[in-house]
Amino acid sequence: MKEINSMRLEFLSRSANEGFARTAVAVFCSQLDPTLDELGDIKTAVSEAVTNCVVHAYPDTLGKIMVRARIFEDNAVEITVRDWGVGISDVSRAREAMFTTGGDDRSGMGFTIMESFMDVLRVRSVPGRGTTVTMRRKISRRAAK
């Protein structure tokens, strides 16, 4: 599938950047003329992925987070959120609903929410090296444009 447009953001793992990242991705996706619902779903999923980097990937340090968004010919958007933090030793366990290493500050629902709000969710991680989350969502084409 042909890529039509792309962008890349890089920022520090400060919690203030969670809002920045989800809003920036939403504004970039606006060129696909999504509904408010579609935009809200994307914002939520991006917020989950970026918050995981802030909270889990760099628990006691500030690290680098990269967010990339690509728009394809078929009106799909692909979002990649990457960190170079602690990584995940058992990805399939981490993706299970309610699984968390965050104690009572977290509920273990982030990956479940990303999965239900996006069409595709891929998680790749190497312990000690970092984590890459890739999500894809097709934006409906509206009849009257």
Partner 1 sequence: MRIETAYQNGELRVMLHGELDHHAAGDTVREIERAVDAYMPMLCVVDLGGVTFMDSSGLAVLMKTRRRVTQIGGKVRVTGASERIERILNSAGIGKFIEITRREEVHIERN
Ligand X SMILES: Nc1ncnc2c1ncn2[C@@H]1O[C@H](COP(=O)(O)OP(=O)(O)OP(=O)(O)O)[C@@H](O)[C@H]1O
Distance from C-alpha of 132 to C-alpha of 22, rounded to nearest angstrom = 17
Residue 37: which of ligand X, Mg ion, partner 1, none does it interact with, CB under 5 to 8 A by kind?
Answer: partner 1
Decide: residue 46, CB within 10 A, 0-12 exposed, 13-18 middle, 19+ buried.
buried
Q: Is 121 in the site for partner 1 (CB under 8 A)?
A: no
Binding residue (CB under 8 A) for partner 1 from 13, 32, 41, 81: 41
For residue 52, the minimal CB distance to partner 1 (Å) is 9
- Rounded to whole angstroms, the Cα distance separating 45 from 29 reads 13
Cα separation, 138 vs 141, in Å, equals 9
3 flagged as catalytic:
no
Is 47 one of the binding residues for Mg ion (CB under 5 A)?
no
Q: Which of 34, 85, 110, 130 is in the footprint of Mg ion by CB under 5 A?
A: 110
48 tagged catalytic: yes
- Catalytic residue at 17? no
Instruction: Out of 1, 61, 73, 105, point to the residue binding partner 1 (CB under 8 A).
Output: 105
**130 Cβ contact partners less than 8 Å away, ≥ 6 residues apart:** 57, 82, 83, 84, 85, 87
3-state secondary structure 100-128: CCCHHHCCCCHHHHHHHHCCEEEEEEECC
Catalytic residue among 17, 18, 22, 48: 48
Q: Which residues are catalytic?
A: 48, 52, 106
The residues binding partner 1 (CB under 8 A) are 15-16, 18-19, 22, 37, 40-41, 43-44, 47-48, 51, 54-55, 97-98, 104-107, 109-110, 112-113, 116
